[in-house]
Structure 1
């Protein structure tokens, strides 16, 4: 894959904390090949998640908030790997690990536009009514690019090394987008889903950005 204005991501691009790395992914592309079928998605919406001891502010919405476990181990590993987890027992969601190795963090890929392999994405997402719905939401994006938990958890999107019949490669814009929006994360329960954590970033006006909803017990804070 070669597109004007894009370059292959390097590990050094992802060494910062997720809240700093996340906006940099917007407009970039994740390309996967699974079962011989390639799909590329231009990233339009992402969310940052920190782990225990990551950054100055504890993140109550993170899978790694209580420390390292078998489930979240990939978040503590080398930046550029993909943390693929199962949501609601059904949907495989994809995160790009960021931060130094041993410091937990990831950027959830919430939504994007399929720019290559639309037929393959549509075959994996038969319920999608329009092209914009193919990867509009993290579970849909995971389905569209063909990555599944647990077999593809840990896939390296920098080295593009194969894992269980899949490869992934992350591309970034040569010049980061200058106009982005930010706000609370979608559907995160409690304070982690309030505007105390404006760690969701998206491209304003892009039709593939997912719909916002407050999580259980979350909502706008009342300021004095």
Structure 2
């Protein structure tokens, strides 16, 4: 039985896909992923095998379980994910029904890692979290020092800043990076209080609260 490749595609731009990821994709028989990530395959430098079957799991993640189990016996299966699959990614889902021995994980550059690089801030002591499709106690996260978390469109950056300000973090340095690695990338900075009045499209954002 083949191992299932779990491949991180990086923060978004095809140029951040690693050579290790390209090597495995080139020998895959079927590639499983969301609509956006599957579309990205056509633009990855060095990817020559564009004849593999594509299986879109957008809106039907649970269906992927039976498909993967049935296909992995005879075919080389790769599951792709944005960022790193182990950071609030698809790896947790796959480990519900696949053993460690059945998985071959290829790390990708996470959007959080990319964000810290863009603002030239060391992050070995940062506390990491996510409010992307889930809840997170931001007060507890930020109170421990430098923190970073993923966002989604359910709550605006302004609203997040207001919550943090009300918890006493209004003077802390804040960064919000949106559409990271894409041509329309923009990184905002200021105090937490400054962000309360900002109107930011936060569909694809990483927020960093510096320890200062």
What is the TM-score normalised by the length of structure 1?
Answer: 0.24
Structure number with higher relative contact order (C-alpha < 8 Å, ≥ 6 residues apart) = 1
What is the TM-score normalised by the length of structure 2?
Answer: 0.25
- Larger Cα Rg: Structure 1 or Structure 2? 2
Looking at secondary structure, tell me which structure has more strand per residue.
1
Looking at secondary structure, tell me which structure has more helix per residue.
2
